[in-house]
Amino acid sequence: MAVTPLRREDAPLPGSGLAARLAIRADEHRGPTAGLAPGFVQGNLAILPQRLAADFLRFCQLNPKSCPLIGMSAPGDPRVPALAEDLDIRTDLPRYRVWRAGELIAEPQDVRDVWRDDLVSFVIGCSFSFEEALTSDGIELRHIIQRCNVPMYRTSIATAEAGPFHGPMVVSMRPMTPANAIRAVQITTRFPAVHGAPVHIGKPELIGIADLDKPDYGDAVEVRANELPVFWACGVTPQSVIATVKPEFCITHYPGSMLVTDRKNTEFAIM
Amino acid sequence: MAVTPLRREDAPLPGSGLAARLAIRADEHRGPTAGLAPGFVQGNLAILPQRLAADFLRFCQLNPKSCPLIGMSAPGDPRVPALAEDLDIRTDLPRYRVWRAGELIAEPQDVRDVWRDDLVSFVIGCSFSFEEALTSDGIELRHIIQRCNVPMYRTSIATAEAGPFHGPMVVSMRPMTPANAIRAVQITTRFPAVHGAPVHIGKPELIGIADLDKPDYGDAVEVRANELPVFWACGVTPQSVIATVKPEFCITHYPGSMLVTDRKNTEFAIM
């Protein structure tokens, strides 16, 4: 199914989600999307054959904290109108990962040549949105200061299974003073569509994390004596769960290369 | 100034705030007010000479987490219409403490005989309201299970001073699992008029508490290995601050013998 680009009289607003997508689509932006189009929602991507889509949708519905679904396509349709009018899921991310039977086979910059009429796209909220709300409130995020990836851990918290999809919740960790941890609960509670409130505070061993210095994904960050580790359900959970299913075909975003949408982060605040 | 009791055709609703106050006024109820009139707001009481009232009011305004003012009288007036129509602050608490120059001189069941025309009553929100919201949500409170007083601690957190009023914040502590602690932040955030969200979680030494087993007020409770201590600003703060000022005259409630009002706890939820 082809997408007819919109005829535009005007150039897109600089710094907008649309401007970011057009730059990516035109191959003018290739790197990570962090910091691109501030204020606009970015999303994790999972593209699955229609045969698995109903179970995966049910998995998201059962696990809203780790898999907050913010957009979904019709089978074979590369558009996701709920997130942006002019959006082609095949070209609008800087980089993708293509998987066959659980094996990573390519990391291309667009996926038009492997597109199929039975593919269903799932866009899942990401922590960039709530991190923007935290930093706007003056809460410093260690991984941003250290210019590294947020540390992520597989936990002993099981997701609710749906069809073949099951596995542990993956969490991200941000160290905070107790006062900031309390404020962070209040702020992120307002954003249920982008992981919402933390799932755990303070005692990593209780959720199966043996060593904070050894994250399963991302980079370790310092947790100071006056801080608590604060844990949020992470959008890597669905990727990790899909990996165990080893679908015959699947496309995900390349880590850090997210889908930039036209929705504003503030739209996702429930109050 | 005398209060004319309302003429009532009907008896007060059993279990209501009014029924509780009438029973206390008639000397039919003498003990602690915990569990009396479920759903109705109870309050801490401080009665001060008018000369100190403006500074104390400013102290409450500057320290809303420890001193959330829910009602205040005109000088000499024993009524607090914002909290209940038929309310006489001199008779409607089961027991009082009367202080002269910082010395406890009596613990009477009414204070009509020491009443003065320059006395101003301050009613300050109490944790019973948010504890009701927590237990309704299924969060077990250790001190209620153990049938003892909540443990309270003087901290190294300074209150904002106003005139002669200054001193450390006193906090109450409730042990909770991390998941319950997160839920408790969400629930108590809804109740800013009754201490609101916790002020600290997890590391008592950071707020000057050397030993959780040795509370400054109330009783020690067990904190289990899978729990975090969660700390709320406490209505004992104003009493402790007033004690350091040693006003020439002052009346407070007897610990546990609170003012029962006609306002519902749910009215105090901001959303």
Predicted confidence at residue B270, as pLDDT, reads 85
**Does the beta-carbon distance from B178 to A201 stay under 8 Å?**
yes
Lowest-pLDDT range of B44-48, B74-78, B235-239: B235-239
Predicted confidence at residue B104, as pLDDT, reads 94
**Does the beta-carbon distance from B182 to A198 stay under 8 Å?**
yes
Contacts of A137 in chain B (CB under 8 A): none
Which of A185, A186, A206 should one mutate to test binding to chain B, selecting the residue with the greatest count of B CBs within 10 A? A185
Predicted confidence at residue B8, as pLDDT, reads 54
**Does the beta-carbon distance from B197 to A178 stay under 8 Å?**
no
Task: Give pLDDT < 70 ranges for chain A.
Answer: 1-10
A241 is written with which tokens? 């769960």
Instruction: Report yes or no: A155 and A163 within 8 Å, Cβ to Cβ.
Output: no
Contacts of B198 in chain A (CB under 8 A): 182
Contacts of B201 in chain A (CB under 8 A): 178, 181-182, 201-202, 228
Predicted confidence at residue A172, as pLDDT, reads 96
CB distance from A201 to chain B under 8 Å?
yes
Predicted confidence at residue B10, as pLDDT, reads 67
Predicted confidence at residue A4, as pLDDT, reads 54
CB distance from B197 to chain A under 8 Å?
yes
Taking only the tens place, the pLDDT of each residue in B102-125 is 899 999 999 999 999 999 999 999
CA separation (Å) from A50 to A47, A57, A70, A93? 9, 11, 18, 21
Contacts of B187 in chain A (CB under 8 A): none
Contacts of B228 in chain A (CB under 8 A): 201-203
Residue B11 has pLDDT above 90, yes or no: no
Predicted confidence at residue B255, as pLDDT, reads 87
Domains of chain A: 17-25+35-126+245-265 (3.40.1640.10), 128-238 (3.30.2040.10)
Amino acid at B168: P
Residue B6 has pLDDT above 80, yes or no: no
Instruction: Report yes or no: B96 and B228 within 8 Å, Cβ to Cβ.
Output: no
* Nearest residue of A to residue B201, measured between CA atoms: A178
- CA distance linking residue B102 with residue B162, whole number of Å: 19
Residue B215 has pLDDT above 60, yes or no: yes
Please indicate, yes or no, whether the overall pTM of this predicted structure exceeds 0.95: no
DSSP state of B214: S
Taking only the tens place, the pLDDT of each residue in A205-249 is 999 999 999 999 999 999 999 999 999 999 999 999 999 999 999
Predicted confidence at residue A11, as pLDDT, reads 80
Residue B137 has pLDDT above 60, yes or no: yes
Residue B3 has pLDDT above 60, yes or no: no
Which residue among A182, A203, A226 places its CB closest to the CB of B178? A203
Which residue among A179, A200, A271 places its CB closest to the CB of B271? A271
Predicted confidence at residue A3, as pLDDT, reads 54
Amino acid at A269: A
**Does the beta-carbon distance from B182 to A203 stay under 8 Å?**
no
Burial B202-219 (b: 16+ CB within 10 A, else e): bbbebbebeebeebebbe
Residue B5 has pLDDT above 60, yes or no: no
Query: How much is the mean pLDDT over chain B?
Result: 94
Predicted confidence at residue B254, as pLDDT, reads 93
Taking only the tens place, the pLDDT of each residue in A54-87 is 999 999 999 999 999 999 999 999 999 999 999 9
Predicted confidence at residue B234, as pLDDT, reads 95
**Does the beta-carbon distance from A182 to B201 stay under 8 Å?**
yes
Residues 6+ apart with CB under 8 A from A62: A159, A160, A161, A162
DSSP state of A205: G
**Does the beta-carbon distance from B182 to A197 stay under 8 Å?**
yes
Residue B229 has pLDDT above 90, yes or no: yes
